Amino acid sequence: MIKVITYGTFDLFHEGHYRLLQRAKALGDYLIVGVTTEAYDKARGKLNVVDSLVTRIENVKKTGFADEIIIEESYGQKVNDIRKFHADIFAIGSDWAGSFDYLRDYCRVVYLERTKNISSTMLREKNSPIQRVGIIGTGRVAGRFIQEAKLVSGISPQGVYNPHTDSAFLFAQRWGVNAYEDIEDFYKMIDIVYIASPHETHYGYIKSSLEHGKHVLCEKPMVLKRAQAEEMFQYAKEQKLILFEGIKTAYCPGFNQLLGVACSGIIGSIRNVEACFTKLEHKDARELNDQAYGGSFTELGSYVMLPVLKLMGQTFADLRFDVIPGGNGLDLFTKVSITCPAGIGTATCGLGVKSEGRLLIAGTKGYIVAEAPWWKTSYFEVHFENAEKIEKYSEVFLGDGMRYEISDFLSVISGNNQNEFKLTSQESIALAGIMERFLEEQNRTEKSRGGGRDIYADKTTGTSISFDHYTGI
């Protein structure tokens, strides 16, 4: 007798689960299915599990494929189960390819091809909240999205679109999804859209997706003009659709705990926020060579502006950009100085200049500091005038962090609006406005690189904005 063993959460049971169990059963004579507990799912970083353990076990039983069902409760259990049940084959979905190669020392490991098409008819019949997601764009972040999405219950990556079809088919082959040459065919097969295309294309794809009745999660910066952000959020509201900007920091538990502590009054009134995020990119990287939309601020500015806007508000009297450009004029390092009614803020980012990346929040009674990588907040400290008094806080940060924004996005789609405060539409609109001003000034001063300062008044708000360019590196 050939024994096969497989594991899964099997939440919101659908035909993909059914087919996986069917294929696993076909590998041998006797199929053992391990169903994970809620506690183990949480420990391994899976979010948004809906069905109870009892319901999930019953759904596996109903297929008729499982000869025996066991409960998976902890790390390391797979090895022990293989030994205990004398399993000959370990089977798992191909989206986990390579992750369980270590089990080859104990049995044969088979990665089963995942089901690319989840039937919307079946989902409607079962009243299931599973959302079929289509991805626009095939860069690094799109791949990370698929990896993180598999750890969020209720979402199934189905397809990818890129006008460069070769890239789309290579991406589809790697990640086990469908590639589409015609965007109309793409829209027909999905419920929600994740946009990870170049910055300047976001507005067009958001508009097209909303017009096709799709909820949208878009990478930062969502759009590059304030008016575009206002238009898209208004249109989404009118169509009763959800539009989210994907700044993962905004949704991670540690960052929200930090904001809560900062606003609790424990450090008094907040008077200064300083945020810094720098990383050194290779000279050939797209971010350092896209003449129109590259540079450090378009790449990292959303992260460093986020805590400033969250804690200092969206009204400011003065906005100043100080820039160190590279030889091609793109900013290698940018410092944004903001004067607000309550105090001042500084947001610093860089791709070609390295600095200490931390978040500092200064108040009238103390200060909060989160060291790099604060944008993946897992630890921060509260300090007071008495240097011996330090309060320490920690929170788990799972994986790449994108699973938090995906989970909250699905939650809002399902009607739970409790997480919308984490990044409001007004905050996204404000970020788009700041990005627009930066790009306008970047273009204006390109002709006068090497020194000098251009100052103009924003005709809409009367805000004074200054812009410094230093000698290129």
Domain boundary among 201, 228, 246: 246
For residue 95, what pLDDT is reported? 85
CATH code of residue 228: 3.40.50.720
For 15, the 3-state DSSP assignment is helix
Task: Write out pLDDT tens, residues 191-228.
Answer: 999 999 999 999 999 999 999 999 999 999 999 999 99
Task: Write out pLDDT tens, residues 442-451.
Answer: 887 665 555 4
The number of domains in the chain is 3
Residue 460: which pLDDT band, with cuts at 50, 70 and 90?
A: very low
Residues 6+ apart with CB under 8 A from 366: 266, 267, 268, 382, 383, 384, 385
Of residues 43 and 119, the one with the higher pLDDT is: 43
Whether residues 240 and 273 share a domain: the answer is no
Position 65 pLDDT exceeds 80: yes
Radius of gyration of the chain (CA): 25
In a domain, 28, yes or no: yes
Domain boundary among 112, 141, 167: 112
Whether residues 140 and 14 share a domain: the answer is no
Q: Going by DSSP bridges, is the β-strand pair 243-246/215-219 parallel, antiparallel, or unpaired?
A: parallel
Residue 270: which pLDDT band, with cuts at 50, 70 and 90?
A: very high
β-pair partners for 243: 216
Position 457 pLDDT exceeds 50: no
| Eight-class DSSP state of 420 | G
Residues 6+ apart with CB under 8 A from 454: 441, 444, 445, 448, 466, 467
Query: Measured between alpha carbons, how far apart are the two ends of the chain, in Å?
Result: 69
Whether residues 204 and 260 share a domain: the answer is no
In a domain, 384, yes or no: yes
Residue 268: which pLDDT band, with cuts at 50, 70 and 90?
A: very high
Whether residues 55 and 126 share a domain: the answer is no
For residue 456, what pLDDT is reported? 33
Whether residues 190 and 130 share a domain: the answer is yes
Residue 31: which pLDDT band, with cuts at 50, 70 and 90?
A: very high
In a domain, 405, yes or no: no
In a domain, 403, yes or no: no
Domain boundary among 55, 87, 112: 112
Whole-angstrom Cα distance, residue 306 to residue 423? 9
Position 123 pLDDT exceeds 60: no
Whether residues 336 and 433 share a domain: the answer is yes
Average pLDDT, the chain: 90
Whether residues 364 and 465 share a domain: the answer is yes
Q: Which domain holds residue 201?
A: 120-246
In a domain, 333, yes or no: yes
CATH code of residue 309: 3.30.360.10
